[in-house]
Amino acid sequence: MKLSKDFLLHHNGEECLVVSTGNAAFAGLVRTNKTAARILDCLAKGADRAQIIENLTARYDAPREQIAGDVDHILEQLRRIGAIDD
């Protein structure tokens, strides 16, 4: 799983912007929080779902189930706009 080549990431402090290129079906930009930004950074490196969850579990003091649910939610949102190549 990786971030689609039709999307660019731009980091601005703790916020990350996901910007579609002219080749993407989705036209626009998405602002994220720092957790979603970390997920996007993992995707940019080709991490799979399990690796993303491990990364966030090591960083945040939250139950693994909650982190997994949050990761699934964000991945689904990114899939809807075509930002993920599986």
pTM of the full structure: 0.88
Residue whose pair of structure tokens reads 């190549």 in the numeric block: 85
Q: Which pLDDT does position 69 carry in this prediction?
A: 97
For residue 71, give both structure tokens.
Answer: 């990761």
Residue 40 contacts residue 57 (beta carbons within 8 Å): no
Q: Which pLDDT does position 63 carry in this prediction?
A: 96
Q: Using CA atoms, how far apart are residues 40 and 60, in angstroms rounded to an integer?
A: 16
10-residue stretch averages of pLDDT, the chain, 86 residues long: 91 86 86 92 94 96 96 95 89
Q: For residue 35, count CB atoms less than 10 angstroms from its CB and return exposed for 0-12, middle for 13-18, buried for 19 or more.
A: middle
